[in-house]
Each structure stands twice: as C-alpha cells, then as structure tokens.
Structure 1
C-alpha cells in the first residue's frame, strides 16, 4: 500500500526546483506553512506498511531553521487514518504538550491520481530504542490522570485507526457497553479478514455475554466510578521515541479515545511487543494503581489484551492464526474462571502441535 501511495504523489511531479530531495511536496502541503516559509528539502524518512513518510527542512519567516514530519496515505481509508491521527495528536498535545511532537495540519493533495491525504507535524530527531520505563510510565500516568473527557463519556469525536483499522469509538456513557461495542466490532473485522472459526466464535459469544459484563460492571459496583481517561490507544515501543537532544520520550502514531485507563496497558501484555517486559506494567502501576476491585486487575488486563490481539490479527493477516490462538487461550481462561461452559459443551482446546507461530514482522518505524 505504501508503494502505491508514493507512486500516486510522485505522479506528474512538478516540485519547485528550489526544494531539494527525493520526496515530492504538493502545493497544499506548501500552503500549510506560514507565509514566507521556505522549504529547503524534502526527503523520504522511515518505513511504513500503509503510508509514506518524509522529513521536510525549512527556513522559517524569521530565518531560523526548522524540521517537519510529513505522512501521506491514499483513498478514503487514508483519509480516515490521517484525519484520525491529526485529531489524536492534537488532543494529546492540547492535554500534555510535552508528550508528543506538535501537530500542525492535515489535508488533501491537490495533484494526485489517487485521493491522497497528508499529516504535518513537528519533526523531533529520536532514537527507536525501547523507552526508559520510569519516564514513560510517569508521563503516561499523568496523562491518564489529568485528562478530562469533553463530554464526560467514553469515546472520541472522530474515528481513529490502529494501523489501517478504524475503531468503533462513538461516545458512550457506560464503559461496559463501550468496550463491548469496541470488541464486537473488531471481532467482526477479524472474521471478515481471516475467515470464520467456529470454536473461536463460541468463545467470543460467551465472553461478550458473560465475562465482559461481569468484570467491567464490577468496576462500578458499590458507588465506584470509572473515569474516562485520554489514552494513546496504540502504545507499543514502536510508537515511542527518545529525543537525541534532550532524552525526553515522545509518543506518536496515536489512535486515541477516552477510556478506562487500564485499557491502555492491555497492549503491553501482548507477547510480540518488547514493552511486554513486566517492568513496564509494574512501573506504571506504581504511578497509577489498579482500579477496584484490585483482585480482578489481572483478569481485566487479560480481557483488554484480547482486544489488541484480535486487532493485530486483522492488521497482520499472515500472522492471524498465531495471534487468534493466543486470544482463544485467554478467552478460555476467563470463561473457565467466570462463566464455565456446561460439561462437554465447550469447544475443543488447541493442541500444542496445532499451534501457529508468530514471526517478528512488526517494523519499528512510524506507521
């Protein structure tokens, strides 16, 4: 998909000769900058499965240098991705500006055979090493604590995407209902992408009918309240960077929503992430502890991880089998604990000899 996007934006290239580099810059991108900004160069930067990305070096109106990050995607799916990312990063920047590069603009290319959309943000030169746990978790916990939902509800005002997949995040006042809708939507997308699997469907139906309701309704028993917290929504090590200049950790490629704060770190349980290392979860919990009932925290974490695993299965079709099987095991664990099948009625468990394997195909670049 990224190759097709680049071919589209390179079509009929008429880049002004004063702009050096190998990345074509559309007039609408140029017009996103303040008057009297001079674009000096535009060069491909990083790799991505679904978008193309570049670094733009400019001379600002006052003569000082600056650098910008440009991302492009094509078609209606590209519009949803780009608009969602711009709004995600804007919401994070508005809430906690030290946490993300500053977003500037998004829009549509004026000249391209495919409808092509762009996102423009501050460029920060960052390493892609795994983030230092203490700094990352302290910042993340602060985001979750200080953020305030503009509606008082869970969700977001516009669709956001993890990778190429849009999330079902319409505003909802009840967290159990919101998460049920979120999970049900991604299950439907997984079936469409990877095919029906009757045994998994049986578990999904029982999980949605019994386990989700039990675990998440308990969060609001005895007068307790679940606060809608702003979450990044796709937080793994590949969506973080550490500034070479300052050592500060930044987040990018956000897919935000207002959600139960624990949902954010369900992604850290997924074994294909390096952030799977338990030091991250333990450190986060020092800054922002589990919700009550605390004895069910690990079960909620497993439940939230199921969402991220199914979503990964949709985004990475070749690896869908192995990740679906992990979700299968986690569902069976929770069902056995909270809503067991009647004797002899549950689907067969997966034999070790039948398991798929997961190769390391995740790239650590900006998607």
Structure 2
C-alpha cells in the first residue's frame, strides 16, 4: 500500500507552491469567463506519440514529485488515453522494495488546466475517501522549456477494468463520498476549472443548484453549437430547457423527507464504466480520472443511461445507492432529473466529438422533457427508438460508430 498523505485540499489555496505556480485560480476562472468558452484544442496524442518514436516523455520535475523515501529507477508507457500520454514509473524504497506510480503527461494550456483540475479533484476525493481513488502525489510543469508539458502523478493500482463492480461496494462508497463531503464555500461549484476531455465544466460558485446546473448546461450547449452544424430545432429546445424546464425540475429540490434544499456534494464528475476498476489486491472498487465539482448528488449518475455504459444501466446499482442516499424530493421526478442530467453529459460529448450521434440523443431527451413540463411548438416528439436507455444501444468511446 502507498504511504498515507495527510492533506486537506478544500480550496485552491491549499495547493503547494509549485502547483500554484501552474494553476492559478484567478487565471483559471477569468480564462473560463472570457471565452464562451471556445474549446481549448488539445494536441492530438497520436501525433505526439509518433514524434516520440517510442520514448516516453519524462522530466526531472516528476522525480522531484516522488515521495522522499523512494528513488526513481525507470518509466515505461502504460495504458492509452485520448488526451494524455500515460505511463508507469518504478521506484525503489529505502528498504529495497518496489513502489510504482501512474503518470499522465499532457501539453499546452489544455494540459495545464485539465491535469490541474484532475489533481485538485483527486485530492478532494482522497481527503474524504482515501481508499476510493489512487493516492494523488503531484502535479506540475516539466522543466523542459518547449513544448509546454504538464504532468499528474498518482499511486499505481493494478486494476481489473472489465469485470462489473460489486453494486454494494461501489454504491456504498459513492454514497459515503456524497454524504461526507463538504463544500468549502457552502455553495455549488469548484475552486478550479475541471475538464471532460477538452471541454471545460462551468463551475463558478452558485448558492442554488438550479442556477449552477442551468449555467453548466447552457455552457456545454454553447460549446456544442460552436463546433457542430447549426440546428434551429435544437437551439429552440436549448432555450426552452434553460427558460422553463430546468427551473421547473430543479427549482424546488429538497432533501429526502425534508424541506431543506439539497446540499452540495462532491461528485467524481465523469463517472462512467471506463473510469472505474477493481483493485486486484483488495477486490474493492476504485475510481479515477476525476473531473469533480460540488453538485446535487444525483448529478453523478447522468452518464449512466448513456450509450457508453452497459452494466451501469442495471437498476441494481441505483437501488443499492438509494438505500443509502434516498432520492431528493419530489421523488416521483427522480428519473426525469436523471434524464436531464444525462442531456448535459451527451451534449458535452457532442462538443468534444463533432458529428456524434449523442447530439441526437441529447435533443431527443430534451424533447421528452419539454413536452412533459413546458410544451412549445417547433420541437419534435420524443422517439423512444432513438433513446439508448430504451433500446440498449451501445458503442465504445471514441469509436467510429459514435
């Protein structure tokens, strides 16, 4: 097991000096607000890898981020990623035993913000649930001057990423994370911008969940509109969602059995089947690739009805979770809220992958909610044949069929 690190990363100022130098909160927030936010283009990792000619990009900055009781011995490529170069670092402890670390490397402004957001997300999850995420060790900039290169270093865990997780274990841990986390401001949001791929979440602090989610949703839709073909019916649907549907569905949310509003909970933020595994040593569920913010806890499951998942669509998982963290009031609107949250995830993916069929999935679900809660002329009827949650349609992430 990795040595325990005692950190309380509850806000951006808790970053170390080296981390703060590359992830300044004011810079991140102002950058997000000053573009609607045009998507920061990430260098194509395939092009980067071809230029490296099989040599893993490594730098002394990573060695300095290692725990003080280990000595670096080697690094090798490990795994695949759409936005980063990933590797495994091997080091030797003072007693002669071996310790391994997982390393992500990314480039340019996108790499700086993306890996910085993951680092803060992981530290926050770790502070609440240290056995639920690989131990975060460091984040920073390579010393090499060009190209601008950034890294995130964490514990290496040998995982089974193909077997479905035990529902009681995974959902119990998620419920505990959501229940025990505390927003540092008491609001919904996050101290730094987090990313889903090359798409930034809009995470400016808001007192009310309905306001935060509306901003999050409309921001994702604006990025989608920047990179995809004009679609007047979708644009109409987006306006109606923001003006009428979201306020109706989220404006009066309350904790289960209470008149109190829902509390901000720390969520993973990008939890689908590809971002979790089973620790081969302990047999317990582990999550990674966090892209967090403080949200209504049910937001965690917006991705679960999508084309990217299979076993997460099973009612068993949600049943286990709801026994530990009951659905918000009104309970009867739980599935509609889940559909709403899934739209944000789908439109986010569409902005990341122009031409994706998930844009149609998002629009179809908007049509369902509009006709149910705030009907207007000009949007189509919901078609269950285009709903992957109904049909069971599935594709691999970044496949040619998406």
TM-score, with normalisation over the residues of structure 1? 0.89
Q: Is the counterpart of residue 186 in structure 1 residue 217 in structure 2?
A: no
**CA distance, structure 2, for counterparts of residue 183 and residue 3 of structure 1:** 30
Partner residue, 1:115: 148
Partner residue, 2:246: 212
Report 1:90-105 matches (<5 A). Answer: 90-105=123-138
Closer, same or farther: CA 4–30 of 1 in aligned 2, 3 Å: farther
The DSSP-based 3-state class of the residue aligned with 1:218 is: coil
Q: Is the counterpart of residue 327 in structure 1 residue 359 in structure 2?
A: no
Moved more, 114-123 or 187-196: 187-196
**CA distance, structure 2, for counterparts of residue 354 and residue 57 of structure 1:** 47
- Which of 289, 294, 303 aligns to 1:253? It is 289
Q: Is the counterpart of residue 74 in structure 1 residue 107 in structure 2?
A: yes
For the 8 Å contact 2:368–2:382, the answer to whether it is kept is no
Deviations 1:103-125 (A, max 9, x none): 00011111253211000000000
**CA distance, structure 1, for counterparts of residue 350 and residue 95 of structure 2:** 48
**CA distance, structure 2, for counterparts of residue 240 and residue 114 of structure 1:** 31
Report 1:1-367 matches (<5 A). Answer: 1-6=44-49, 10=52, 22-35=55-68, 37-111=70-144, 113-129=146-162, 130-220=164-254, 223-274=259-310, 275-318=312-355, 320=356, 322-341=357-376, 345-349=377-381, 360-362=395-397
For the 8 Å contact 2:308–2:396, the answer to whether it is kept is no
Closer, same or farther: CA 316–359 of 1 in aligned 2, 3 Å: farther
Closer, same or farther: CA 299–36 of 1 in aligned 2, 3 Å: closer
**CA distance, structure 2, for counterparts of residue 277 and residue 197 of structure 1:** 33
For the 8 Å contact 1:74–1:115, the answer to whether it is kept is yes
1:36 to partner: Cα distance: 6.2
**CA distance, structure 1, for counterparts of residue 49 and residue 112 of structure 2:** 15
TM-score, with normalisation over the residues of structure 2? 0.81
Paired residues, number:
349
CA RMSD in angstroms comes to: 2.5
**CA distance, structure 1, for counterparts of residue 263 and residue 139 of structure 2:** 30
Closer, same or farther: CA 200–121 of 1 in aligned 2, 3 Å: same
Closer, same or farther: CA 164–217 of 1 in aligned 2, 3 Å: same
**CA distance, structure 1, for counterparts of residue 349 and residue 263 of structure 2:** 26
**CA distance, structure 2, for counterparts of residue 350 and residue 84 of structure 1:** 36
For the 8 Å contact 1:176–1:216, the answer to whether it is kept is yes
**CA distance, structure 2, for counterparts of residue 327 and residue 134 of structure 1:** 30
**CA distance, structure 1, for counterparts of residue 130 and residue 69 of structure 2:** 26
**CA distance, structure 1, for counterparts of residue 295 and residue 394 of structure 2:** 31
For the 8 Å contact 1:238–1:363, the answer to whether it is kept is no
1:52 to partner: Cα distance: 0.6
1:232 to partner: Cα distance: 0.3
1:35 to partner: Cα distance: 4.3
Partner residue, 1:18: none
Moved more, 296-305 or 32-41: 32-41
The DSSP-based 3-state class of the residue aligned with 2:302 is: helix
Structure 1, unpaired ranges of 5+: 12-20
The DSSP-based 3-state class of the residue aligned with 2:303 is: helix
1:151 to partner: Cα distance: 0.7
